[in-house]
Amino acid sequence: MSQLYELSKPFPQQLIKQKPGKFAAAYVEHSVISQRLLEVVGPHSFEIKQAITNPDGTVTGCLAALSCTIDGFPVVVVEVGDVEHPGQNNASNLKNAASDALKRCAMRLGVGLHLWSGENYYLHKSLERRDESAE
């Protein structure tokens, strides 16, 4: 099976958590996303390109890039990360934004995409059929 297929596989239910509150949503922790990336693509690079601040200098997000090789092709994904729950300082805020940006970059590669797509998720089945027909 291709690496792209492996990246797109839905996470087991026991790794999926629910955000509480008004905008409840399913998610997996940063550590789970990182494990999937390491398991499937191996070493990769993640770089914060720019901190995003509000007028008083408080970090509210970041622009980051994930670089890896998937199925023999070099890939660079650039995404934005948000600070959902501001911390006590800019370093904490940047760390939170970077975690969000990594999740969003990984989602562009299919990792956890089923959580965003919900009942409309079909990618892993489509890639599985494609891989099987190529064998």
Residue range 38-83, pLDDT digits in tens: 999 999 999 999 999 999 999 999 999 999 999 999 999 999 999 9
Q: What is the pLDDT of residue 129?
A: 87
Exposure string over 109-121, b if 16+ CB within 10 A, otherwise e: bbbbbbbeeeeee
Beta strands 73-82 and 45-53 are unpaired
| pLDDT mean over 3-31 | 90
- Give the other-Cβ count within 10 Å of 28's Cβ: 19
CB 124 within 8 A of CB 131: no
Q: Torsions phi, psi of 121, nearest 5?
A: -80, 125
Q: What is the pLDDT of residue 127?
A: 87
Look at the domain 3-134 and name its fold.
Enolase-like; domain 1 (3.30.390)
Decide if pLDDT at 109 tops 80.
yes
Angular region, 130: left φ>0, alpha ψ -120 to 50, beta rest: alpha
Structure tokens, 91: 């370093």
Question: In 2-134, which residue ranges form alpha helices assigned H by DSSP?
Answer: 3-8, 30-41, 90-108, 113-117, 123-134
CB 111 within 8 A of CB 37: yes
Decide if pLDDT at 108 tops 90.
yes
pTM: 0.91
Q: What is the pLDDT of residue 118?
A: 87
Find the helix or strand (DSSP H, E) in which 63 lies: strand 59-70
